[in-house]
Structure 1
Amino acid sequence: MSLLFNIVISVVLYVCFTSLNMDDVARTLLQRTLRKIPTRKLEETIKKWSHLSRRQQQSLNYTQSKWILLQKLVSFCEDNELTVRHVSELEMIYCMENPNLGTWKACHLTDAEDDATSLDLMCFKEQFKSHLAELTRNVSIKIKKHENETIWIRIAWGENFIKPNHLKPTYVVHDLQTPYVFICNLSSKNKPLLYQTLVLATKHGSIKDAHLSGRNLHAVRDLLMGNYHQTFPTNHQRPLEEMSPPPTHPNIENEHKEHAEKRQQVACEAFGEGKVPKLETATYTLETRFRGGGSIDTLVDGEKPFRTVVQFASTSLLESLHHCVSSGIADAPVSPLLSSITQKGRNYFVITDKADR
């Protein structure tokens, strides 16, 4: 009898103890998220999260070493019996405030239905969750409204007998009143599931790749939507402010000014004026037939195209190209291959022979 009593007591104590602790996935996700958040932003992020009591928040000393601070935060979360659902909210808050932590790919929704523009947030949330749940099991979805009509979606994907992987979520950003969607960290396996769900939930006919990507979400969105100061071609030269001390000789001054104005005009028409979107790369895939001559026979194959990839990279590509043209480093007029970045709102191009188009 005493043995049975001891067993019952042990089981009760074990259940009570484990109920006060987070599971391994929640704890790992919490530790990983807290490590990513800089100490200077940690206090503000924790307040927005609102899953710690006022007493717990006041007891946190943000001047301590981050390791000690994280240990205390994890302890508080365990005391509050927080789950993966609560911890994923913290990660989502940080990602929404700091969206430049991954590579965002832009997509374009097409063939909109008549009532697509009148879609509201509640209807979209219900449609998105129900459609995706029909397509796949074990998926965790969290949807939040951020700025204006911008909707952020966090998706943790699972499989039939595998729980959702919250350590590698997909993020989706969509403005309800626009046909554009921005996606980060989406595998090829889950791509058709997400695309079909987006098409149905937004009341469109199809979705296609916009051939535009970058780490700066705001830059990708501004470039695609044209939300920056653009300069359009004109036959009349505009007066520009003097950017450097005038030359001493008037003839030299006039000649330099004329050339400088022309280069500046061409640069603004091609890459925008003032503050331009911060794009990092532009990729060109070449699929053309080699037209060499002489003794170069190894590359000449009448049927097979000559394939190669050319990539321009910079911390701010449009600003760099603008500077190259305006300073005279690059020739003007600008090649359409470069000016198409802003004119077409994309940074991935496939170049083929005219006969193949």
Structure 2
Amino acid sequence: MDESIKRTMQRLVRRIPNQLLKPTLDKWGRLTAAQKQSLDFTQPKWALTERLLALCEENEWTAKHIIELEMIYVIDNPNQGMWYAFQLMDPEDDAASVELAQFKEQFKSHLRELVKHVSVKIKKHTDEAVWIRIAWGDGFTRPNHLKPTYVVHHLQTPYVFVSSLTSKQKPLLSQALVLSTRYNVIKDANLSGRKLTAIRDLLMRQYQQVFPTKFPSPLTEKNETVSNPCIEKEQSGAAANRLQMACEAFGDGELPQLQSAVYKLETKFKDPTNKTMTEQEEPFKCVIKFASTNLLESLKQCATSGIASTPVTPLLSSIPLKGRNYFVITDNGPGPTTQMHTSQK
């Protein structure tokens, strides 16, 4: 067995939790009924790994087969690393007509023109997302299957989600993407998170939004509790108004589980009591990070309960409005981060 295949298989089996290993192998479909019965999933992971390596040799599995198994696990369990969103810009006239077969052929062709040794596997998921696995090499080394890049793209949309991409690989992937999708520019969407579905739903507006109306009717508060009728009558108007504004800012129902938002401040220090800092010509720089298991829901609850003032400040409401969770704040207001441009040749 090739040593790189063995290491890839070992690392993959260690990565898959015990409770998910059997259903993942079943979905893979490469084991015979007898081979499945020979696996004891109550054994320690190392023993199970050795048995699978023996089956790997017995069945003469290649890197292609191991990649299939890895992609099944990653697609079914995408929240394993950090995902970064990008947006394709400036489409050509035929961008909306690009089909899967055409995209696969051109993406592989363009990337292999840029990188001599690269392994590309493309698979369409049931939700119409195109999943791309890239193992990078260079002019002298073979593709490294231990550190692949994953790319998710919904055809006919301008959004791309990427995990495990280095700064050296970024321009190569960018050029291959714009050429194969018929766009001219790709830029950083300033949105990232560990939950792929969360940043996808936020960027593609796939959650229940609440829009302001001229004569808004107060939304019904959830989990209502019995309280003093006099107090309830006095406070119900203000509470309903806070709930309405919170839902308009962040959405209603189940919100995308975004886990953080970062604000990079590059502003002048303003404090008349501190002349030393105020008179400095250089901007005052710092980074503020909000973190939660579900940041949008936390911010919404703060506004609804009255902990945070309403209407919600644009600095926070811009997260769902603009589909971003990274902002640069200057004296002129929120500014974009550096964009990544790739021109078509």
Normalising by structure 1, we get a TM-score of 0.89
- Residue aligning to 1:212: 191
Q: Give the counterpart of 1:351 among 296, 304, 329.
A: 329
Query: How far off is 1:239 after superposition?
Result: 4.6
Relative contact order, higher structure (CA 8 A, sep 6+): 2
Structure 1 residues 47 and 295: CA distance shift in structure 2, 3 A: closer
Residues 108, 208 of structure 1: 8 Å contact kept = yes
Q: Does 2:135 match 1:156?
A: yes
Question: Who is 2:38 aligned against?
Answer: 59
Gaps of 5+ in 2: 336-345
The separation in 1 between residues aligned to 2:334 and 2:130, in whole angstroms, is 40
Q: Deviations over 1:95-150 (max 9, x none)?
A: 00000001111111111122211211111100000000001111111111112321
Of 291, 294, 297, 1:313 maps to: 291
Output the CA distance in 2 between the equivalents of 1:86 and 1:258. 62
Contact 1:149 1:177 in 2 (8 A): no
Where does 1:1-357 land on structure 2 (aligned, <5 Å)? 22-234=1-213, 235-241=215-221, 243-248=223-228, 250-298=229-277, 300-302=279-281, 304-354=282-332
The structure 1 segments of at least 4 consecutive aligned residues displaced by more than 6 Å after TM superposition are none
Q: Which whole-Å CA distance do the structure 1 matches of 2:128 and 2:334 have between them?
A: 42
The DSSP-based 3-state class of the residue aligned with 1:88 is helix
Which residue pairs with 1:15 in the alignment?
none
Distance 2:127 2:84 in 1: 21
Which amino acid in 1 is paired with 2:318?
A: S
TM norm structure 2: 0.92
Q: Deviations over 1:183-231 (max 9, x none)?
A: 0010000100000000000111111111111110001000001100111
Amino acid at match of 2:174: Y
Question: 2: distance between equivalents of 1:295 and 1:209?
Answer: 37
The answer on whether the counterparts of 1:128 and 1:201 sit within 8 Å (CA) in structure 2 is: yes
- The DSSP-based 3-state class of the residue aligned with 1:297 is helix
Question: Between Structure 1 and Structure 2, how many residues are aligned?
Answer: 334
Identity of aligned residues (%): 55
Cα shift at 1:293: 2.3
The CA deviation at 1:35 is: 1.1
Q: Distance in 2 between matches of 1:278 and 1:355?
A: 26
Letter of the 1:104 counterpart: W
Extract unaligned runs of 5+ from structure 1.
1-21
Q: Hey, what's the Cα distance between the residues in 1 that align with 2:291 and 2:316?
A: 13
